[in-house]
C-alpha cells in the first residue's frame, strides 16, 4: 500500500458565494418556479460557468441582448452586475417583464453616481473597461458626465474643465490595494474630489482578499476556485501573488489543476471567488485527498451574515402565496 504524502491545507474563510450572488441565483430559480421554463437571463447571472450550466439545465436561457428573447411573455432577469439605464427602457418598450437582480451594493454605486451628477459634479469611475459592472455603471449617466479611469497614469492624463467639481465611484470587485493606490492618485491630483461616504468595494471582496493575504505568505501554493471571467476571482489570484505566494492558480474544476506543478508541495491554500459554489471547493479537496493525506485548517478573517431579499417582483409573488 502506497503511503500518501501529507499536505497541510489552509482553507480561507470567508470564501465562495456572497449575498449578492445568492440573491441573483435564487432570483432565477424562483422565477423558474413561478413562471416555468424558459426564463431568460441577460448576460451570465454571475460569472461562473458551473452555475450558469446548472441554471441552463433547469430551463434558463442566457442571452446577451434583448432582441435574442424569442418569447416576450416570459421574464427576463438582469444579472447581478447591473445594466445601463437604456436596458430597462428597452425592455419596457418591448413589453418585456424584467426582473432586476443587480446586486444591491452595485445599485448603491449607481445611486452615488446619479447623486453626484445631479449635484453638478463630473464623475470618475475606477474600474476595468469592458466588465459588465463597469458597462452598467457608465450607462447610468450621459456619456460626457462620467469617465472611466483604470490606472494612475489615466488620472495624470485627465484634464477636466473644473478640477474642483469632481467625484469618484469604484467597481465593487477591485483589488483593495489597487483601489487604495487609485484613490491616492485621485486625491493627490484633485484634492477637492468627493468620494463615497463608505467605500464602494463590497464587503465580500474585501473579506476574501484579507483571508488570502493571511494565508498566501505561509503556503507553497494557493488555488482560487472560480471562472476566468470573474473579476473578484482574478483579483484573489493577484492578491495571493503580491502577498508572496510563488504558485497561485485560478481553476474552475478539479480537472483544471496542473498536477505536475502541485506534486511537491507540503502546504496549500484554497479560496473561492464570490461567484464560485462550495461544491467546487469540495470537488478539488477530494481530488487532492486522492493524492495526499490532508490536514485541513480553516483560516477565518471575518464572519459574514449579510442577506439580501429577492427582487421586488419575486417577493410580491412569494408573499401572496403565504
168-187 core/surface letters (b: 16 or more CB in 10 A; e: else)? bbbbbbbbeebbeebbebbe
C-alpha cell at 319: 408573499
CA distance 119 to 121: 6
CA distance 112 to 201: 13
CA distance 252 to 258: 12
Residues that are catalytic: 133
Closest listed residue to residue 176, CA positions, set 206, 197, 131: 206
C-alpha cell at 142: 450621459
Q: How many residues does the chain have?
A: 322
CB 117 within 8 A of CB 85: no
Q: Give Cα 21 to chain centroid, integer Å.
A: 8
Amino acid at each position: 500500500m502506497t503511503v500518501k504524502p501529507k499536505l497541510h491545507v489552509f482553507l480561507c474563510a470567508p470564501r465562495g458565494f456572497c449575498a449578492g450572488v445568492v440573491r441573483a441565483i435564487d432570483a432565477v430559480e424562483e422565477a423558474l418556479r413561478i413562471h416555468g421554463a424558459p426564463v431568460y437571463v441577460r448576460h451570465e447571472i454571475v460569472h461562473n460557468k458551473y452555475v450558469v450550466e446548472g441554471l441552463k439545465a433547469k430551463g434558463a436561457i442566457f442571452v446577451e441582448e434583448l432582441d435574442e428573447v424569442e418569447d416576450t411573455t416570459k421574464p427576463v432577469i438582469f444579472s447581478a452586475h447591473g445594466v445601463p439605464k437604456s436596458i430597462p427602457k428597452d425592455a419596457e418598450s418591448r413589453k418585456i417583464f424584467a426582473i432586476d437582480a443587480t446586486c444591491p451594493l452595485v445599485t448603491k454605486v449607481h445611486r452615488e453616481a446619479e447623486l453626484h451628477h445631479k449635484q453638478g459634479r463630473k464623475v470618475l469611475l475606477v474600474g476595468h473597461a469592458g466588465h459588465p459592472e463597469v458597462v452598467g455603471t457608465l450607462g447610468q449617466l450621459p456619456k460626457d458626465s462620467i469617465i472611466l479611469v483604470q490606472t494612475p497614469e489615466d488620472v495624470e492624463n485627465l484634464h477636466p474643465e473644473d478640477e474642483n467639481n469632481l467625484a469618484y465611484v469604484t467597481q465593487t470587485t477591485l483589488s483593495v490595494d489597487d483601489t487604495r493606490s487609485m484613490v491616492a492618485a485621485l486625491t493627490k491630483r484633485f484634492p477637492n474630489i468627493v468620494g463615497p461616504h463608505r467605500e464602494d468595494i463590497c464587503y465580500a471582496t474585501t473579506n476574501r482578499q484579507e483571508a488570502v493575504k493571511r494565508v498566501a505568505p505561509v503556503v507553497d501554493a494557493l488555488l482560487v476556485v472560480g471562472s476566468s471571467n470573474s473579476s473578484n476571482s482574478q483579483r484573489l489570484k493577484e492578491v495571493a501573488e503580491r502577498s508572496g505566494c510563488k504558485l497561485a492558480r485560478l481553476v474552475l474544476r478539479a480537472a483544471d489543476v496542473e498536477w505536475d506543478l502541485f506534486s511537491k508541495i507540503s502546504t496549500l491554500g484554497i479560496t473561492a471567488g464570490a461567484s464560485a459554489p462550495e461544491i467546487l471547493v469540495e470537488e478539488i479537496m477530494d481530488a487532492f485527498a486522492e493524492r495526499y493525506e490532508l490536514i485541513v485548517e480553516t483560516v477565518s478573517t471575518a464572519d459574514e451574515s449579510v442577506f439580501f431579499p429577492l427582487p421586488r417582483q419575486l417577493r410580491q409573488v412569494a408573499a401572496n402565496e403565504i
